Structure 1
Protein backbone atom coordinates (compact mmCIF):
# COMPACT_ATOMS: atom_id res chain seq x y z
CA UNK A 1 0.00 0.00 0.00
CA UNK A 2 2.85 2.43 0.80
CA UNK A 3 4.32 1.83 -2.66
CA UNK A 4 0.94 2.67 -4.18
CA UNK A 5 0.71 6.05 -2.45
CA UNK A 6 4.39 6.77 -3.12
CA UNK A 7 3.84 6.13 -6.82
CA UNK A 8 1.24 8.89 -7.10
CA UNK A 9 2.88 11.26 -4.64
CA UNK A 10 5.94 11.53 -6.86
CA UNK A 11 4.09 12.16 -10.13
CA UNK A 12 4.02 15.51 -11.93
CA UNK A 13 0.53 16.95 -11.54
CA UNK A 14 -0.95 19.38 -14.05
CA UNK A 15 -3.06 21.27 -11.54
CA UNK A 16 -4.24 23.86 -14.06
CA UNK A 17 -6.14 21.28 -16.10
CA UNK A 18 -9.31 21.11 -13.93
CA UNK A 19 -9.64 24.88 -14.16
CA UNK A 20 -9.24 24.69 -17.95
CA UNK A 21 -12.02 22.09 -18.07
CA UNK A 22 -14.31 24.25 -15.93
CA UNK A 23 -13.63 27.30 -18.12
CA UNK A 24 -14.26 25.19 -21.21
CA UNK A 25 -17.67 24.05 -19.96
CA UNK A 26 -18.60 27.62 -19.05
CA UNK A 27 -18.39 28.44 -22.75
CA UNK A 28 -21.19 25.99 -23.51
CA UNK A 29 -23.42 25.78 -20.42
CA UNK A 30 -24.90 27.94 -17.69
CA UNK A 31 -23.87 27.25 -14.11
CA UNK A 32 -27.35 26.01 -13.20
CA UNK A 33 -27.02 23.31 -15.86
CA UNK A 34 -23.94 21.80 -14.21
CA UNK A 35 -23.71 19.67 -11.08
CA UNK A 36 -20.43 18.27 -9.78
CA UNK A 37 -20.06 14.93 -8.03
CA UNK A 38 -17.12 15.89 -5.84
CA UNK A 39 -14.80 13.12 -4.73
CA UNK A 40 -14.53 13.27 -0.95
CA UNK A 41 -11.63 10.81 -0.58
CA UNK A 42 -9.05 10.34 -3.35
CA UNK A 43 -6.56 7.46 -3.01
CA UNK A 44 -4.53 8.71 -5.98
CA UNK A 45 -5.80 11.50 -8.24
CA UNK A 46 -8.68 13.78 -7.26
CA UNK A 47 -11.37 12.76 -9.72
CA UNK A 48 -14.65 14.68 -9.92
CA UNK A 49 -17.48 14.04 -12.38
CA UNK A 50 -19.59 16.75 -13.99
CA UNK A 51 -23.28 16.03 -14.54
CA UNK A 52 -24.61 18.34 -17.26
CA UNK A 53 -28.36 18.68 -17.72
CA UNK A 54 -29.15 21.18 -20.46
CA UNK A 55 -32.50 21.77 -22.15
CA UNK A 56 -30.61 22.12 -25.43
CA UNK A 57 -29.90 18.38 -25.46
CA UNK A 58 -32.18 15.36 -25.50
CA UNK A 59 -29.63 13.71 -23.20
CA UNK A 60 -27.51 14.48 -20.15
CA UNK A 61 -23.72 14.25 -19.90
CA UNK A 62 -21.29 12.75 -17.42
CA UNK A 63 -17.76 14.13 -17.86
CA UNK A 64 -14.71 13.39 -15.73
CA UNK A 65 -12.39 16.07 -14.39
CA UNK A 66 -9.14 14.75 -12.97
CA UNK A 67 -7.97 12.06 -15.36
CA UNK A 68 -5.85 14.72 -17.08
CA UNK A 69 -4.12 15.71 -13.85
CA UNK A 70 -1.48 13.19 -14.89
CA UNK A 71 -0.14 12.47 -18.34
CA UNK A 72 -0.66 9.00 -19.71
CA UNK A 73 2.18 6.73 -20.80
CA UNK A 74 1.85 6.96 -24.57
CA UNK A 75 4.13 4.54 -26.49
CA UNK A 76 7.02 6.13 -28.38
CA UNK A 77 5.80 4.36 -31.51
CA UNK A 78 2.70 6.58 -31.61
CA UNK A 79 3.02 9.48 -34.03
CA UNK A 80 2.85 12.85 -32.26
CA UNK A 81 2.41 11.32 -28.78
CA UNK A 82 1.97 14.75 -27.17
CA UNK A 83 -1.51 14.86 -28.74
CA UNK A 84 -2.63 11.83 -26.73
CA UNK A 85 -1.11 12.35 -23.28
CA UNK A 86 -4.15 13.92 -21.64
CA UNK A 87 -7.79 12.85 -21.70
CA UNK A 88 -11.11 13.05 -19.93
CA UNK A 89 -14.05 10.68 -20.42
CA UNK A 90 -17.68 11.31 -21.27
CA UNK A 91 -20.90 9.31 -21.30
CA UNK A 92 -24.17 10.58 -22.76
CA UNK A 93 -27.21 9.50 -20.74
CA UNK A 94 -30.98 9.39 -21.23
CA UNK A 95 -32.79 12.18 -19.37
CA UNK A 96 -34.51 9.50 -17.29
CA UNK A 97 -31.30 8.41 -15.53
CA UNK A 98 -30.87 10.06 -12.14
CA UNK A 99 -28.29 9.82 -9.39
CA UNK A 100 -28.37 10.16 -5.64
CA UNK A 101 -26.89 13.14 -3.81
CA UNK A 102 -23.88 11.12 -2.67
CA UNK A 103 -21.59 8.63 -4.36
CA UNK A 104 -21.09 5.84 -3.64
CA UNK A 105 -24.60 5.27 -2.36
CA UNK A 106 -27.54 2.96 -2.94
CA UNK A 107 -28.66 4.46 -6.23
CA UNK A 108 -29.29 1.88 -8.96
CA UNK A 109 -27.31 3.97 -11.45
CA UNK A 110 -24.15 4.30 -9.35
CA UNK A 111 -22.49 1.65 -11.51
CA UNK A 112 -22.28 4.20 -14.32
CA UNK A 113 -20.33 6.64 -12.16
CA UNK A 114 -18.13 3.83 -10.89
CA UNK A 115 -17.47 2.65 -14.44
CA UNK A 116 -16.40 6.05 -15.74
CA UNK A 117 -14.22 6.76 -12.69
CA UNK A 118 -12.52 3.34 -12.73
CA UNK A 119 -11.84 3.77 -16.45
CA UNK A 120 -10.34 7.22 -15.89
CA UNK A 121 -7.97 5.83 -13.26
CA UNK A 122 -6.94 2.77 -15.27
CA UNK A 123 -4.12 4.26 -17.40
CA UNK A 124 -2.48 5.86 -14.36
CA UNK A 125 -2.62 2.70 -12.26
CA UNK A 126 -1.09 0.58 -15.01
CA UNK A 127 1.28 3.08 -16.66
CA UNK A 128 -0.51 2.88 -19.98
CA UNK A 129 -2.87 5.03 -22.03
CA UNK A 130 -6.41 5.17 -23.37
CA UNK A 131 -7.44 6.43 -26.75
CA UNK A 132 -9.98 5.77 -29.50
CA UNK A 133 -10.44 2.07 -30.21
CA UNK A 134 -9.17 0.83 -26.85
CA UNK A 135 -11.35 -1.52 -24.82
CA UNK A 136 -11.49 -2.33 -21.12
CA UNK A 137 -13.29 -5.06 -19.24
CA UNK A 138 -14.89 -4.62 -15.83
CA UNK A 139 -13.00 -7.52 -14.24
CA UNK A 140 -10.53 -10.17 -15.34
CA UNK A 141 -13.44 -12.65 -15.58
CA UNK A 142 -15.64 -10.21 -17.51
CA UNK A 143 -18.24 -9.93 -14.79
CA UNK A 144 -20.95 -7.31 -15.21
CA UNK A 145 -20.37 -3.86 -13.78
CA UNK A 146 -23.38 -4.35 -11.54
CA UNK A 147 -26.48 -6.46 -11.07
CA UNK A 148 -28.26 -3.50 -12.70
CA UNK A 149 -26.63 -4.11 -16.10
CA UNK A 150 -25.44 -6.82 -18.49
CA UNK A 151 -22.47 -4.77 -19.69
CA UNK A 152 -19.05 -6.23 -18.87
CA UNK A 153 -16.71 -3.76 -20.58
CA UNK A 154 -16.50 -0.76 -22.87
CA UNK A 155 -14.87 0.70 -25.93
CA UNK A 156 -13.42 4.21 -26.21
CA UNK A 157 -14.96 6.08 -29.14
CA UNK A 158 -14.80 9.52 -30.72
CA UNK A 159 -17.98 11.45 -30.07
CA UNK A 160 -20.35 11.59 -33.03
CA UNK A 161 -22.56 14.08 -31.18
CA UNK A 162 -19.98 16.77 -30.45
CA UNK A 163 -17.27 18.14 -32.73
CA UNK A 164 -13.71 19.14 -31.89
CA UNK A 165 -14.82 22.52 -30.58
CA UNK A 166 -16.18 20.66 -27.55
CA UNK A 167 -14.03 17.51 -27.43
CA UNK A 168 -10.65 19.26 -27.49
CA UNK A 169 -9.62 21.47 -24.58
CA UNK A 170 -6.53 23.66 -24.67
CA UNK A 171 -4.84 23.91 -21.29
CA UNK A 172 -1.82 26.12 -21.86
CA UNK A 173 0.41 24.15 -24.21
CA UNK A 174 -1.39 20.89 -23.49
CA UNK A 175 -4.29 19.30 -25.35
CA UNK A 176 -6.97 17.46 -23.36
CA UNK A 177 -9.08 15.08 -25.44
CA UNK A 178 -12.62 14.19 -24.44
CA UNK A 179 -13.45 10.61 -25.40
CA UNK A 180 -16.85 8.92 -25.36
CA UNK A 181 -17.42 5.58 -23.62
CA UNK A 182 -19.66 2.91 -25.13
CA UNK A 183 -20.43 -0.06 -22.81
CA UNK A 184 -20.28 -3.56 -24.29
CA UNK A 185 -21.86 -6.95 -23.69
CA UNK A 186 -19.54 -9.92 -23.15
CA UNK A 187 -19.75 -11.34 -26.69
CA UNK A 188 -19.24 -7.86 -28.18
CA UNK A 189 -16.08 -7.34 -26.15
CA UNK A 190 -14.80 -10.78 -27.13
CA UNK A 191 -15.60 -9.99 -30.77
CA UNK A 192 -13.57 -6.78 -30.65
CA UNK A 193 -10.61 -8.52 -29.00
CA UNK A 194 -10.65 -11.24 -31.65
CA UNK A 195 -11.35 -9.06 -34.68
CA UNK A 196 -10.01 -5.55 -33.84
CA UNK A 197 -11.61 -2.13 -33.52
CA UNK A 198 -12.55 -1.66 -37.18
CA UNK A 199 -14.65 -4.82 -37.14
CA UNK A 200 -16.52 -3.59 -34.07
CA UNK A 201 -16.92 -0.17 -35.64
CA UNK A 202 -18.54 -1.79 -38.67
CA UNK A 203 -21.07 -3.44 -36.36
CA UNK A 204 -21.78 -0.13 -34.64
CA UNK A 205 -22.49 1.47 -37.99
CA UNK A 206 -24.58 -1.45 -39.27
CA UNK A 207 -26.77 -1.38 -36.16
CA UNK A 208 -26.93 2.44 -36.15
CA UNK A 209 -25.84 2.30 -32.51
CA UNK A 210 -26.50 5.52 -30.61
CA UNK A 211 -23.94 7.31 -28.48
CA UNK A 212 -26.52 7.75 -25.71
CA UNK A 213 -26.34 4.94 -23.16
CA UNK A 214 -29.09 2.33 -23.54
CA UNK A 215 -28.91 -0.23 -20.77
CA UNK A 216 -31.15 -2.63 -22.70
CA UNK A 217 -30.00 -2.00 -26.25
CA UNK A 218 -29.92 -4.69 -28.95
CA UNK A 219 -26.74 -6.72 -29.07
CA UNK A 220 -24.47 -5.64 -31.91
CA UNK A 221 -23.96 -9.30 -32.87
CA UNK A 222 -27.64 -10.25 -32.81
Structure 2
Protein backbone atom coordinates (compact mmCIF):
# COMPACT_ATOMS: atom_id res chain seq x y z
CA UNK A 1 0.00 0.00 0.00
CA UNK A 2 1.30 3.47 -0.89
CA UNK A 3 0.63 7.05 -0.05
CA UNK A 4 2.36 9.71 -2.07
CA UNK A 5 3.90 13.09 -1.67
CA UNK A 6 3.90 15.40 -4.65
CA UNK A 7 6.92 17.27 -3.36
CA UNK A 8 10.39 16.14 -2.46
CA UNK A 9 10.07 15.55 1.27
CA UNK A 10 11.94 13.55 3.86
CA UNK A 11 10.36 10.33 5.08
CA UNK A 12 9.58 10.48 8.76
CA UNK A 13 9.76 7.09 10.41
CA UNK A 14 12.06 4.72 12.26
CA UNK A 15 15.74 5.50 11.99
CA UNK A 16 16.46 2.19 10.24
CA UNK A 17 14.39 2.93 7.12
CA UNK A 18 14.89 5.26 4.15
CA UNK A 19 18.60 5.25 4.94
CA UNK A 20 19.75 6.30 1.46
CA UNK A 21 16.61 8.04 0.18
CA UNK A 22 18.03 11.57 0.02
CA UNK A 23 21.32 10.47 -1.54
CA UNK A 24 19.49 8.42 -4.18
CA UNK A 25 17.16 11.34 -4.96
CA UNK A 26 20.05 13.75 -5.38
CA UNK A 27 22.09 11.41 -7.56
CA UNK A 28 19.24 10.45 -9.89
CA UNK A 29 17.94 13.99 -10.21
CA UNK A 30 21.24 15.04 -11.78
CA UNK A 31 20.51 13.05 -14.96
CA UNK A 32 16.81 12.10 -14.82
CA UNK A 33 15.51 15.62 -14.24
CA UNK A 34 13.18 16.91 -11.57
CA UNK A 35 11.43 14.32 -9.46
CA UNK A 36 7.64 14.60 -9.36
CA UNK A 37 7.21 12.90 -6.01
CA UNK A 38 7.52 9.79 -3.89
CA UNK A 39 5.10 6.96 -3.28
CA UNK A 40 5.66 6.28 0.41
CA UNK A 41 4.85 2.75 1.51
CA UNK A 42 2.39 2.77 4.39
CA UNK A 43 2.65 -0.88 5.45
CA UNK A 44 6.13 -2.43 5.34
CA UNK A 45 7.73 -5.74 6.21
CA UNK A 46 11.50 -6.17 6.62
CA UNK A 47 12.27 -3.19 4.35
CA UNK A 48 10.37 0.04 3.76
CA UNK A 49 10.05 0.49 -0.01
CA UNK A 50 9.48 3.98 -1.32
CA UNK A 51 9.03 4.56 -5.05
CA UNK A 52 10.64 7.62 -6.62
CA UNK A 53 8.79 8.99 -9.64
CA UNK A 54 10.55 10.88 -12.44
CA UNK A 55 8.07 12.04 -15.11
CA UNK A 56 8.76 12.48 -18.83
CA UNK A 57 10.78 15.60 -19.57
CA UNK A 58 13.23 17.12 -22.05
CA UNK A 59 15.97 14.82 -20.76
CA UNK A 60 14.14 11.49 -20.93
CA UNK A 61 10.74 11.18 -22.62
CA UNK A 62 9.54 8.37 -20.39
CA UNK A 63 8.48 7.66 -16.82
CA UNK A 64 11.29 6.38 -14.61
CA UNK A 65 10.34 4.60 -11.38
CA UNK A 66 13.08 3.76 -8.89
CA UNK A 67 12.84 1.88 -5.60
CA UNK A 68 14.39 3.32 -2.47
CA UNK A 69 14.69 1.09 0.58
CA UNK A 70 15.73 -2.21 -0.97
CA UNK A 71 19.32 -1.16 -0.25
CA UNK A 72 18.62 -0.48 3.44
CA UNK A 73 19.45 -4.13 4.14
CA UNK A 74 22.21 -6.23 2.54
CA UNK A 75 21.36 -9.15 0.28
CA UNK A 76 22.94 -12.56 0.81
CA UNK A 77 25.65 -12.17 -1.82
CA UNK A 78 27.90 -15.17 -2.62
CA UNK A 79 31.01 -15.47 -0.46
CA UNK A 80 33.32 -15.68 -3.50
CA UNK A 81 32.63 -12.09 -4.56
CA UNK A 82 35.21 -9.52 -3.51
CA UNK A 83 34.72 -7.17 -1.88
CA UNK A 84 31.48 -8.89 -0.92
CA UNK A 85 29.89 -5.76 0.51
CA UNK A 86 29.95 -4.11 -2.93
CA UNK A 87 27.51 -6.77 -4.18
CA UNK A 88 25.06 -6.63 -1.28
CA UNK A 89 22.97 -3.53 -1.97
CA UNK A 90 20.70 -2.75 -4.90
CA UNK A 91 17.71 -0.75 -6.08
CA UNK A 92 15.43 -1.45 -9.03
CA UNK A 93 14.47 0.73 -11.99
CA UNK A 94 11.43 0.46 -14.26
CA UNK A 95 11.08 2.69 -17.32
CA UNK A 96 7.64 3.19 -18.85
CA UNK A 97 6.57 5.03 -22.01
CA UNK A 98 5.38 8.61 -21.63
CA UNK A 99 1.82 7.51 -22.43
CA UNK A 100 1.67 4.89 -19.65
CA UNK A 101 0.43 7.39 -17.06
CA UNK A 102 -1.20 10.80 -17.37
CA UNK A 103 0.62 13.30 -15.18
CA UNK A 104 -1.41 15.40 -12.78
CA UNK A 105 -0.98 19.15 -12.29
CA UNK A 106 2.04 18.57 -10.08
CA UNK A 107 3.53 16.08 -12.55
CA UNK A 108 2.75 13.17 -10.26
CA UNK A 109 0.77 10.03 -11.10
CA UNK A 110 -2.81 10.26 -9.83
CA UNK A 111 -3.94 7.53 -7.44
CA UNK A 112 -6.94 6.53 -9.55
CA UNK A 113 -4.60 5.33 -12.31
CA UNK A 114 -2.99 2.90 -9.88
CA UNK A 115 -6.35 1.16 -9.43
CA UNK A 116 -6.06 -0.11 -13.02
CA UNK A 117 -4.24 -3.50 -12.99
CA UNK A 118 -3.01 -2.85 -16.53
CA UNK A 119 -1.26 0.30 -15.29
CA UNK A 120 -0.19 -0.86 -11.83
CA UNK A 121 1.53 -4.17 -12.62
CA UNK A 122 5.05 -2.72 -13.15
CA UNK A 123 4.88 -1.22 -9.64
CA UNK A 124 3.61 -4.46 -8.16
CA UNK A 125 6.41 -6.32 -9.93
CA UNK A 126 9.07 -3.92 -8.64
CA UNK A 127 7.86 -4.32 -5.07
CA UNK A 128 7.83 -8.11 -5.34
CA UNK A 129 11.35 -8.29 -6.81
CA UNK A 130 12.76 -5.79 -4.31
CA UNK A 131 11.44 -7.83 -1.37
CA UNK A 132 12.48 -11.21 -2.72
CA UNK A 133 16.14 -11.29 -1.56
CA UNK A 134 15.15 -10.07 1.92
CA UNK A 135 12.21 -12.46 2.27
CA UNK A 136 14.19 -15.51 1.16
CA UNK A 137 17.73 -14.68 2.23
CA UNK A 138 18.77 -14.71 -1.42
CA UNK A 139 20.51 -12.45 -3.93
CA UNK A 140 19.57 -10.91 -7.27
CA UNK A 141 21.95 -9.29 -9.70
CA UNK A 142 22.53 -8.20 -13.28
CA UNK A 143 21.58 -10.90 -15.87
CA UNK A 144 19.44 -12.77 -13.34
CA UNK A 145 16.02 -13.79 -14.61
CA UNK A 146 12.88 -14.28 -12.51
CA UNK A 147 9.63 -15.84 -13.73
CA UNK A 148 6.18 -14.82 -12.58
CA UNK A 149 4.09 -17.07 -10.37
CA UNK A 150 2.20 -20.00 -11.84
CA UNK A 151 3.07 -23.12 -13.78
CA UNK A 152 3.50 -22.23 -16.54
CA UNK A 153 4.31 -18.64 -15.53
CA UNK A 154 1.32 -16.34 -15.95
CA UNK A 155 1.42 -13.01 -17.83
CA UNK A 156 1.64 -10.01 -15.53
CA UNK A 157 -1.59 -8.42 -16.77
CA UNK A 158 -4.18 -8.50 -19.52
CA UNK A 159 -2.24 -5.96 -21.60
CA UNK A 160 0.92 -8.05 -21.91
CA UNK A 161 1.94 -11.63 -22.67
CA UNK A 162 5.25 -11.31 -20.83
CA UNK A 163 5.73 -13.42 -17.73
CA UNK A 164 9.33 -13.01 -16.59
CA UNK A 165 12.08 -10.43 -16.25
CA UNK A 166 15.80 -10.00 -16.67
CA UNK A 167 17.74 -7.51 -14.55
CA UNK A 168 20.27 -5.38 -16.43
CA UNK A 169 22.41 -2.34 -15.79
CA UNK A 170 20.15 0.39 -17.23
CA UNK A 171 21.36 0.58 -20.87
CA UNK A 172 19.97 4.08 -21.45
CA UNK A 173 21.58 5.64 -18.37
CA UNK A 174 24.83 7.60 -18.62
CA UNK A 175 27.97 5.58 -17.99
CA UNK A 176 28.72 5.09 -14.31
CA UNK A 177 25.29 6.22 -13.09
CA UNK A 178 24.22 2.65 -12.37
CA UNK A 179 26.27 2.78 -9.16
CA UNK A 180 26.00 5.18 -6.23
CA UNK A 181 28.71 5.34 -3.60
CA UNK A 182 26.93 6.66 -0.51
CA UNK A 183 28.53 9.01 1.99
CA UNK A 184 29.04 6.13 4.42
CA UNK A 185 30.94 4.18 1.72
CA UNK A 186 28.09 1.81 0.84
CA UNK A 187 27.90 0.86 -2.84
CA UNK A 188 24.34 0.86 -4.20
CA UNK A 189 23.77 -0.82 -7.57
CA UNK A 190 20.84 0.01 -9.85
CA UNK A 191 19.27 -2.61 -12.10
CA UNK A 192 16.66 -2.10 -14.79
CA UNK A 193 13.71 -4.52 -14.76
CA UNK A 194 13.17 -5.68 -18.36
CA UNK A 195 10.12 -7.94 -18.88
CA UNK A 196 10.47 -11.08 -21.01
CA UNK A 197 8.30 -13.63 -22.78
CA UNK A 198 8.39 -17.22 -21.54
CA UNK A 199 10.31 -18.46 -24.60
CA UNK A 200 12.88 -15.69 -24.11
CA UNK A 201 13.42 -17.02 -20.60
CA UNK A 202 13.89 -20.47 -22.14
CA UNK A 203 16.44 -19.09 -24.61
CA UNK A 204 18.51 -17.79 -21.71
CA UNK A 205 18.20 -21.10 -19.87
CA UNK A 206 19.32 -23.15 -22.88
CA UNK A 207 21.81 -20.85 -24.59
CA UNK A 208 22.94 -18.50 -21.84
CA UNK A 209 22.44 -14.87 -21.00
CA UNK A 210 24.78 -13.62 -23.74
CA UNK A 211 22.61 -15.21 -26.44
CA UNK A 212 19.50 -13.62 -24.93
CA UNK A 213 21.04 -10.15 -24.67
CA UNK A 214 22.32 -10.31 -28.25
CA UNK A 215 18.87 -11.34 -29.45
CA UNK A 216 17.15 -8.56 -27.49
CA UNK A 217 19.62 -5.99 -28.79
CA UNK A 218 19.25 -7.22 -32.38
CA UNK A 219 15.47 -6.89 -32.10
CA UNK A 220 15.77 -3.32 -30.80
CA UNK A 221 14.35 -4.08 -27.34
CA UNK A 222 15.14 -1.20 -24.97
CA UNK A 223 14.84 -0.72 -21.22
CA UNK A 224 11.62 1.29 -21.76
CA UNK A 225 8.68 -1.11 -21.51
CA UNK A 226 6.81 -2.11 -24.66
CA UNK A 227 4.07 -4.23 -23.10
CA UNK A 228 2.76 -5.45 -26.43
CA UNK A 229 6.02 -6.30 -28.17
CA UNK A 230 6.26 -9.76 -29.79
CA UNK A 231 8.74 -12.35 -28.58
CA UNK A 232 12.18 -11.99 -30.15
CA UNK A 233 12.45 -15.77 -30.22
CA UNK A 234 9.68 -16.08 -32.78
CA UNK A 235 10.78 -12.98 -34.65
CA UNK A 236 14.37 -14.16 -34.96
CA UNK A 237 13.53 -17.87 -35.34
CA UNK A 238 15.51 -18.82 -32.24
CA UNK A 239 13.26 -21.81 -31.63
CA UNK A 240 15.60 -23.76 -33.87
CA UNK A 241 18.38 -23.28 -31.33
CA UNK A 242 16.55 -25.30 -28.71
Residue number among 84, 90, 95 corresponding to 2:93 in the alignment: 90
Cα 1:122–1:39 change in 2 (3 A) is: same
SS in 2 for 1:64: strand
- Deviation, 1:221, is 0.4
- Deviation, 1:103, is 8.4
- Deviation, 1:116, is 1.0
Cα 1:125–1:202 change in 2 (3 A) is: same
The answer to whether residue 155 in structure 2 is matched with residue 153 in structure 1 is: no
The Cα offsets for residues 192-221 of structure 1, whole Å up to 9 and x where unpaired, read as: 122221121121122121121100113110
> Residue 44 of structure 2 aligns with which residue?
42
- Deviation, 1:30, is 5.5
> Residue 6 of structure 1 aligns with which residue?
none
The answer to whether residue 23 in structure 2 is matched with residue 20 in structure 1 is: yes
> Residue 104 of structure 2 aligns with which residue?
none
Residues of 2 paired with 1:37 and 1:103: CA distance?
A: 13
Aligned length: 210
Q: Which moved more, 1:66-75 or 1:202-211?
A: 202-211
**1:1-222 maps to which residues of 2 (within 5 A)?**
13=16, 15-28=18-31, 31=34, 33-53=35-55, 54-98=57-101, 99-101=109-111, 105-106=115-116, 108-141=118-151, 142-171=153-182, 172-222=184-234
SS in 1 for 2:188: strand
The answer to whether the 8 Å contact 1:37/1:103 transfers is no
- Deviation, 1:138, is 1.2
SS in 2 for 1:166: coil
Cα 1:146–1:107 change in 2 (3 A) is: closer
TM-score where L is the length of structure 1: 0.86
Instruction: Give the gaps of 5 or more residues in structure 2.
Output: 1-15, 102-108, 235-242
The answer to whether the 8 Å contact 2:31/2:59 transfers is no
Residues of 2 paired with 1:27 and 1:163: CA distance?
A: 11
The Cα offsets for residues 134-166 of structure 1, whole Å up to 9 and x where unpaired, read as: 011111421112223211110001111113442
Cα 1:106–1:121 change in 2 (3 A) is: same
Cα 1:44–1:103 change in 2 (3 A) is: farther
Instruction: Give the gaps of 5 or more residues in structure 1.
Output: 1-12
